[in-house]
Amino acid sequence: MPTLHALCRAVSPAMLDCELSFIGREPIDLALANTQHNAYVKALRALNVEVVELPAEAALPDSVFVEDTVLLFDELAVMTRPGAQSRRAEVASIEAAFSAHREIIARIFEPGTLDGGDVLQIGKRVFVGLSQRSNQAAIEQLSACLTPFGYQVIAVPMQDCLHLKSAVTALSDDTVLINPDWVDVDYFKDYQQIYVAKSEPHAANLVRIALTASTSSASDMESILMPANFPETEVLIRAAGFALHTVDVSEFQKAEGAVTCCSVLFYV
Ligand code: GLY
DSSP class per residue in 103-133 = S-EEE--TT--B-GGGEEEETTEEEEEE-SS
Which pLDDT does position 219 carry in this prediction?
56
> Is 18 annotated in the active site?
no
Which pLDDT does position 214 carry in this prediction?
59
How many helical (H) and strand (E) elements, i.e. helices and strands, does the chain have?
A: 6, 15
55 DSSP assignment:
P
Which pLDDT does position 211 carry in this prediction?
87
> Is 261 annotated in the active site?
yes
Which pLDDT does position 230 carry in this prediction?
98
Helices (H), the chain: 30-46, 91-98, 136-146, 164-167, 231-239, 250-254
Identity of the amino acid at 182: W
Ligand 1 midpoint to CA 143 (Å): 24
C-alpha distances in angstroms, 255 versus 16, 63, 141, 162, 250? 8, 11, 29, 11, 9
Q: How far apart are CA 117 and CA 114, in angstroms?
A: 9
Sign (positive or negative) of CA dihedral 224, 230, 231, 233:
negative
Query: Nearest-CA neighbor of 78 among 105, 103, 102, 96?
Result: 105
Task: Going residue by residue through the chain, which has 268 residues, state the pLDDT in tens, using 9 for 90 and above.
Answer: 789 999 999 999 999 999 999 999 999 999 999 999 999 999 999 999 999 999 999 999 999 999 999 999 999 999 999 999 999 999 999 999 988 889 999 999 999 999 999 999 999 999 999 999 999 999 999 999 999 999 999 999 999 999 999 999 999 999 999 999 999 999 999 999 999 999 999 999 999 999 876 554 455 579 999 999 999 999 999 999 999 999 999 999 999 999 999 999 999 9
The angle at the Cα of 70, spanning 34 to 159, to the nearest 5 degrees, equals 85
Which pLDDT does position 110 carry in this prediction?
98
Closest C-alpha residue for ligand 1 atom 3: 19
Which pLDDT does position 63 carry in this prediction?
98
Q: Which of 21, 88, 202, 251 to mutate to test the pocket of ligand 1 (most atoms within 8 A of CB)?
A: 21
Q: What is the pTM of this model?
A: 0.96
Which pLDDT does position 187 carry in this prediction?
98
